[in-house]
């Protein structure tokens, strides 16, 4: 008997065809998509509007710094404390905005976003968002100076000033940690919660202790402190709200974030400084005459601690 090899091969190959042609089932019980097309990473970056806003604020901060410095020349050195502090605030902000506008002080934060689906497995989407860490360096310097302005205006004690400044620095640093924190873990919003608690400590020192001390001062210092502190706290409260929408949940574009912070920074620094200094110049009871070392140094260079007990 002669066997046709072609016929044998065809019969054998039919046994190799799988009987189950259904799609494999994933461990979660979902049928995967027939075709998987990987998403390209999403880059949330600055564009023309955001860059223009950074340069505009830089110019405003430079102009404000020059104006505040010129105002300080109209008063004696011993009475320039508010002028010097306020000028340092806008100078620091100008440096920060110059850095951000020129492309420095920024990093890309990587986030892997989980997207849930009803009938198929969850997918993940990669997002790279720009975080301007130079802004946090700015705030870590300028917000304690702003607190110092308000604390000196109220006449707060050194202990209260120190606690308010430390709480402020903690607030800024934990805000930065939250912006760069890992997504999908309690870490990010844990840092944010610490920042918010620190902000409540600042409010307590200014609104309770600060107002109590300011009301004891003569003239219109109390009402002025109440007004400018309320203005400052309202603006400061807007910062964590913007953070939650922008860096926190990424519901705001980078350009929108820049513009929102730019408006707040202008209100919190140049506008605040102009209001403080113009009122201070018309209200003599707000003067803080440091005298001595502040204006003339140590004189002959010797530091005199006290007289000897024997009078020698």
Asked if residues 229 and 153 have their Cβ atoms less than 8 Å apart, the reply is no
Asked if residues 260 and 52 have their Cβ atoms less than 8 Å apart, the reply is no
Q: Tell whether 78 is covered by a domain.
A: yes
> Is residue 219 left, alpha or beta, with left meaning phi > 0 and alpha meaning psi from -120 to 50?
left
CATH of the domain at 154: 1.20.1070.10
Q: Tell whether 302 is covered by a domain.
A: no
Beta-carbon contacts of 98 under 8 Å, excluding residues fewer than 6 positions away, are 58
Q: Tell whether 8 is covered by a domain.
A: no
Per-residue model confidence as pLDDT tens digits over 201-227: 999 999 899 999 999 887 789 999 999
**CA neighbor of 64 nearest in space, from 258, 265, 255:** 265
Highest mean pLDDT among 21-35, 102-116, 144-158, 279-293: 144-158
Q: Tell whether 11 is covered by a domain.
A: no
Per-residue model confidence as pLDDT tens digits over 2-43: 545 545 445 554 444 454 444 455 555 555 554 444 567 776
Q: Tell whether 72 is covered by a domain.
A: yes
Q: Is the dihedral of CA 197, 203, 208, 213 positive or negative?
A: positive
The predicted pLDDT at position 8 comes to: 47
Q: Tell whether 275 is covered by a domain.
A: yes
Beta-carbon contacts of 301 under 8 Å, excluding residues fewer than 6 positions away, are none
Q: Tell whether 3 is covered by a domain.
A: no
The predicted pLDDT at position 120 comes to: 61
pLDDT band of residue 306 (cuts 50, 70, 90) is very low
End-to-end CA distance of the chain: 138
In this prediction the pTM is 0.79
* Count of domains forming the chain: 1
Q: Tell whether 141 is covered by a domain.
A: yes
Which domain does 239 fall in, by range? 35-287
The predicted pLDDT at position 305 comes to: 44
Whole-number Å distance between alpha carbons of 177 and 140: 13
């Amino acid at each position: 008997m002669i066997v046709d090899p072609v016929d044998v091969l065809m019969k054998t190959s039919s046994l190799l065809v799988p009987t189950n042609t259904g799609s494999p089932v994933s461990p979660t019980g979902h049928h995967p998509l027939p075709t998987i097309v990987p998403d390209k990473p999403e880059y949330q970056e600055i564009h023309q509007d955001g860059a223009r806003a950074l340069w505009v604020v830089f110019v405003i901060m430079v102009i404000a710094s020059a104006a505040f410095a010129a105002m300080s020349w109209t008063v004696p050195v011993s009475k320039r404390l508010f002028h010097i502090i306020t000028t340092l605030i806008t100078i620091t902000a100008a440096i920060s905005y110059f850095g951000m506008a020129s492309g420095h002080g920024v990093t890309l934060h990587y986030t892997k976003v989980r997207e849930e689906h009803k009938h198929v497995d969850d997918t993940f989407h990669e997002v790279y968002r720009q975080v301007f860490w130079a802004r946090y360096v700015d705030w870590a310097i300028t917000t304690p100076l702003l607190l110092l302005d308000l604390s000196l205006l109220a006449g707060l004690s050194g202990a209260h000033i120190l606690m308010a400044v430390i709480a402020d620095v903690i607030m800024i640093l934990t805000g930065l940690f939250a912006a760069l924190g890992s997504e999908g873990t309690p870490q990010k919003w844990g840092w944010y919660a610490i920042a918010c608690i620190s902000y409540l400590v600042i409010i307590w020192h200014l609104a309770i202790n600060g107002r109590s001390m300011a009301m004891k001062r003569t003239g219109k210092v109390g009402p002025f402190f109440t007004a400018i502190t309320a203005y400052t706290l309202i603006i400061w409260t807007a910062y964590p709200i913007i953070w939650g929408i922008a860096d926190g949940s990424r519901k705001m574009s980078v350009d929108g974030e820049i513009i929102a912070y730019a408006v707040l920074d202008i209100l919190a620094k140049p506008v605040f400084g102009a209001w403080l200094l113009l009122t201070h110049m018309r209200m003599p009871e707000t003067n803080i005459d440091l005298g001595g070392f502040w204006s003339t140094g140590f004189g002959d260079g010797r530091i005199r601690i006290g007289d000897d007990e024997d009078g020698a």
